[in-house]
């Protein structure tokens, strides 16, 4: 049991905890949530003893082992597999002693203990964890020095999972995992045999891998014995109740104050006025839960282009003379919302760079709309901001003719208010830097937005705001993310990048999740089973289905308007006056493309409508 009792702690005079308490039972999986900057990582450091409390106590059972990932494993000549095996210090010590012990009694004790801790299966267990986090059998035998820092963070995660501490502390572990690794981690944590406390803004993980939520807000800790979605519902109810009580109290204060204002200086009413002032002082406004901080994202709207905005036939691309992707035949329309699936290293970033004109086409035919503007956001771009400049400086370089007021308006549209506008980027939080990078990526009102892991530094409220902005955005979206919740609400098409090419994935995200979790599982003999009872969809599922139907209707309406305009153009007699063969063919081709896009949009809409009707019937 982890017991946090009446703790207080401040950083540079700013209190993060003030009399905070919580109890986490043994074996529970708990998500630690709260707005960025409230002190979640600080709490981890206090639990591990890296920081000293000002008052209060944090207690664990005697001899309980605490484990977490604080930094990547060093670059060394030790293989990944041996690095992970070494994390179980007891096993490593016993294995060494087993080779040197001569006393029969001690040999027996060592062998018994090795059997108790299942030491002989350790290599297989370590290999399974490494494989789940993206390392194949050959890579597991390579030295740590052969991998970049991000990959060595995965090795560090594998090592702590293998060592199985009694209390496992994980701080945003999916930030350096791809979707495949994140889904594997969800499954692994759900079956982990000891206590887990995990900081995360990933709603999928917080709903599937943990059963409880520890909420840090207003320098207090509140424990909810439910997954995240139920926690969010309870918190919304709590906020509504608090706001209703405040509304009543404010009305009562206003009524009392009006009497005081009228009769304060009238002798016959002075006693009553003073009495009402004391009543006003006794009325306490309830402390309402903090509102979501700086939720806004305001993407500028691009003008419409005729479909397709990108058409690729038989494409090949790569780096230098090395081909990474081939046999690429793809089409993108302005209303497409596409998620790129596939393991890291298969070519998702390569495809993104090709589509954004950051990589050349080595073979094949690629046609982009002549007026096409593309916005591109990748994880590394947050690190490429100028740390000694302010956000205003960054925008001034891009928009030198705009006034400071106009630049500030742009920043506030992305949740960067007056204080952050004049703060050096090096002093901004990760989420604030991500907002600035997103603003820079969208400043030209792109017709297509390519986002590679856009949520890594965003808290849950900001992620929800990003979903809202992308839903309202009228350009195409190409999305790479380990956040299943984001993908499920934004993407309506799935492309699988694997085996050196790109193909549509035949199924939805849940089918892809099942495919990933089952592909390495041992085959089981088939046996007849009763048809599973349909699961009633959640509130988020219903919202996503209705949003999909609305998007489909809007897409069809837009294409129908375009069809009418093109038909009118083709019916214009002036088009056929003189030698305009090439122009006529161009308009006919555009009309055929719109007809094809309309047929596809109607099919997608019908499928979405059918799913919604089935869900409503459950």
How large a percentage of the chain has pLDDT more than 90?
47
Quickly list DSSP for 224-271: ESS-HHHHHHHHHHHHHHHHHHHHHHHHHHHHHHHHHHHHTT-GGGHH
Q: What share of the chain is helix, strand, coil (3-state, %, to 5)?
A: 50, 20, 30
> What backbone phi and psi angles, to 5 degrees, belong to 146?
-80, -5
Encode 231-268: b = buried (16+ Cβ within 10 Å), e = exposed: bbeebeeeeeeeeeeeeeeeeebeebeebbeebeeeee
Helix 149-163 to helix 179-190 angle, to the nearest 10 degrees?
A: 10
pTM: 0.73
CA distance 13 to 46: 17
CA distance 190 to 187: 5
* Cβ 478 vs Cβ 338: under 8 Å: yes
Least confident of 38-42, 145-149, 239-243: 239-243
Helix 122-132 to helix 179-190 angle, to the nearest 10 degrees?
A: 140
Average of pLDDT values for 570-575? Answer: 80
In whole numbers, what is the pLDDT of the chain averaged over residues?
86
Distance of CA 589 to the CA centre of its chain: 40
Residue 316 zone, left/alpha/beta (φ > 0; ψ -120 to 50; rest): beta
* Cβ 563 vs Cβ 595: under 8 Å: yes
Least confident of 131-135, 392-396, 529-533, 601-605: 529-533
Identical fold for domains 2-231 and 310-518, yes or no, is: yes
- Sheet containing strand 55-59, edge to edge, reads 14-24, 2-11, 55-59
CA distance 170 to 202: 13
pLDDT of 378 strictly over 70: yes
- If you average pLDDT over each of 40-54, 509-523, 598-612, which comes out highest? 40-54
Distance of CA 554 to the CA centre of its chain: 27
pLDDT of residue 436: 93
pLDDT of residue 290: 46
pLDDT of 332 strictly over 90: yes
- Of residues 334 and 557, more confidently modeled: 334
* Cβ 562 vs Cβ 554: under 8 Å: no
How large a percentage of the chain has pLDDT more than 70?
93
SS3 category, 11: strand
pLDDT digit string, tens, across residues 511-569? 898 888 776 555 444 455 555 556 666 666 776 777 777 777 877 887 788 888 888 88
Average of pLDDT values for 57-85? Answer: 89
pLDDT of 361 strictly over 80: yes
Average of pLDDT values for 261-285? Answer: 73
User: 133: Cβ–Cβ under 8 A, 6 or more apart, which residues?
Assistant: 154, 157, 158, 177, 181, 184, 185
H helices present in 330-390, as ranges: 348-355, 379-383
Name the token pair of 531. Answer: 């048809």
Average of pLDDT values for 289-302? Answer: 67
Quickly list DSSP for 162-216: HH--SEEEEESGGGGS-HHHHHHHHHHHHT-SSEEEEE---HHHHHHT-SEEEEE
User: 295: Cβ–Cβ under 8 A, 6 or more apart, which residues?
Assistant: 415, 461, 462, 464, 465
User: 340: Cβ–Cβ under 8 A, 6 or more apart, which residues?
Assistant: 348, 351, 352, 478, 479, 480, 495, 497, 502
Please provide the CATH number assigned to the domain covering 2-231: 3.40.50.300
User: 589: Cβ–Cβ under 8 A, 6 or more apart, which residues?
Assistant: none
Sequence spans of domains, the chain: 2-231, 232-282, 310-518, 539-617
CA distance 6 to 340: 46
pLDDT of residue 530: 52
pLDDT of residue 96: 80
Closest CA to 448 of 373, 507, 397: 373
* CATH fold of 310-518: Rossmann fold (3.40.50)
pLDDT digit string, tens, across residues 114-149? 777 777 788 889 999 999 999 999 999 999 999 988
pLDDT of residue 250: 82
């Amino acid at each position: 049991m982890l017991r946090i009792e009446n703790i207080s702690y401040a950083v540079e005079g700013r209190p993060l905890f003030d009399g905070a308490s919580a109890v986490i039972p043994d074996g529970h999986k708990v998500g630690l949530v709260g707005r960025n900057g409230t002190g979640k990582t600080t709490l981890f450091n206090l639990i591990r003893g890296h920081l000293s409390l000002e008052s209060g106590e944090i207690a664990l059972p005697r001899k309980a082992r605490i484990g977490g990932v604080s930094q990547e494993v060093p670059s060394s000549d030790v293989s990944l597999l041996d690095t992970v095996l070494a994390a179980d210090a007891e096993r490593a010590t016993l294995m060494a002693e087993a080779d040197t012990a001569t006393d029969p009694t001690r040999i027996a004790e060592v062998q018994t203990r090795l059997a108790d801790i299942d030491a002989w299966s350790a290599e297989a267990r370590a290999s399974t964890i490494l494989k789940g986090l993206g390392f194949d059998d050959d890579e597991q035998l390579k030295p740590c020095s052969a991998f970049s820092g991000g990959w060595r963070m995965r090795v560090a995660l594998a090592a702590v999972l293998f060592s199985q501490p009694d209390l496992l502390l994980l701080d945003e572990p999916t930030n350096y995992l791809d979707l495949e690794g994140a889904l594997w981690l969800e499954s692994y944590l759900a079956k982990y045999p000891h206590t887990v406390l995990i900081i995360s803004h990933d709603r999928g993980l917080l709903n599937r891998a943990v059963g409880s939520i520890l909420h840090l807000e207003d320098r207090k800790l509140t424990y909810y014995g439910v997954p995240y979605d139920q926690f969010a519902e309870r918190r919304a109810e709590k906020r509504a109740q608090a706001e209703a009580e405040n509304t009543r109290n404010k009305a009562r204060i206003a009524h009392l104050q009006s009497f005081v204002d009228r009769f304060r200086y009238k002798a016959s009413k002075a006693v009553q006025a003073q009495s009402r002032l004391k009543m006003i002082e006794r009325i306490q406004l309830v402390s309402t839960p903090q509102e979501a901080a700086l939720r806004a994202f305001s993407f500028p709207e691009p003008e419409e282009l005729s479909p397709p905005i990108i058409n690729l036939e038989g494409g090949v691309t790569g780096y230098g003379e090395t081909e990474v992707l081939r046999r690429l035949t793809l089409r993108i329309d302005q209303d497409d919302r596409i998620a790129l699936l596939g393991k890291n290293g298969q070519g998702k970033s390569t495809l993104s760079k090709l589509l954004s004109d950051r990589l050349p086409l080595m073979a094949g035919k690629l046609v982009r709309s002549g007026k096409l503007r593309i916005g591109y956001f990748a994880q590394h771009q947050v690190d490429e901001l100028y740390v000694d400049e302010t956000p205003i400086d960054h925008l001034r370089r891009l928009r030198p003719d705009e006034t400071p007021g106009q630049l500030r308006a742009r920043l506030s549209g992305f949740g960067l208010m007056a204080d952050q506008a004049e703060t050096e980027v090096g002093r901004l939080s990760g989420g604030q830097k991500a907002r600035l990078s997103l603003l820079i990526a969208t400043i030209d009102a792109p017709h297509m937005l390519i986002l590679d892991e856009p949520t890594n530094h965003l808290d849950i409220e900001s992620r929800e705001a990003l979903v809202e902005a992308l839903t309202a955005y009228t350009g195409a979206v190409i999305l790479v993310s380990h956040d299943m919740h984001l993908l499920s609400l934004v993407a309506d098409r799935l492309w699988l990048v694997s085996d050196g090419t790109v193909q549509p994935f035949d199924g939805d995200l849940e089918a892809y999740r099942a495919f990933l979790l089952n592909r390495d599982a041992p085959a089981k003999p088939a046996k007849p089973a009763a048809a599973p009872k349909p699961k009633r969809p959640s509130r988020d599922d219903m919202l996503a289905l209705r949003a999909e139907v609305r998007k489909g209707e809007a897409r069809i309406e837009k294409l129908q308007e375009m069809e009418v305009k093109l038909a009118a153009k083709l019916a214009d007699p002036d088009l056929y006056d003189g030698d305009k063969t090439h122009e006529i063919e161009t308009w006919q081709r555009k009309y055929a493309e719109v007809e094809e896009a309309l047929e596809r949009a109607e099919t997608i809409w019908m499928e979405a409508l059918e799913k919604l009707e089935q869900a409503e019937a459950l």
